[in-house]
Amino acid sequence: MNFSEMIINSYKSCTKSFINFNAEASMKNRHTAAIIVVLCGRIRFDFEDISIECDKDHAIFIPEGASYSFYCSEYAENLLFNFTTTSDELLPSSITGINHTVAQECFDRISNLTSKAHQSTHLIMSTFYEFLSHSFPVLEKVENAEEFV
């Protein structure tokens, strides 16, 4: 996967999920792209042509429009970042080397910003890009995300 070709249109939301042991679900035609950072536990994502196991050492990128099911083989906690991209050719991918501390700090800052109606969207995008620049070294940090919003 070449993430250097991914252009993000907009940040949508972030949530922290707690998934019980043996939980399973499916999603058809996901309406946003997502990065899921597993903080603890293990989750298997099954796509049409590939299965990806995620744990604290492996996050996952899920593109817009993807259909998949997931199964949680043990209790899991994860951070979910939803966003839209300009590319429709991206494939589901395992991501290694995610810094959980940076992911949690950015998640907390974004959550705090979205709870304040007077905060500008560009601050949220800037924080999201900060998380991505730490997660994907090929991305350049955006100093002024306002022009991308």
Please give the pLDDT value at position 37: 92
Q: Cα–Cα distances in Å, from 12 out to 8, 49, 57, 58, 145?
A: 11, 27, 25, 23, 15
Please give the pLDDT value at position 42: 92
Please give the pLDDT value at position 40: 93
pTM more than 0.85:
no
Residue pLDDT, tens place only, 34-70 = 999 999 999 999 999 999 999 888 889 999 999 999 9
Please give the pLDDT value at position 119: 57
Phi, psi of 106 (to 5 degrees): -65, -40
Phi, psi of 88 (to 5 degrees): -110, 10
| Residue ranges for the chain with pLDDT beneath 70 | 1-6, 88, 115-120, 136-149
Please give the pLDDT value at position 12: 82
Please give the pLDDT value at position 120: 66
Please give the pLDDT value at position 145: 43
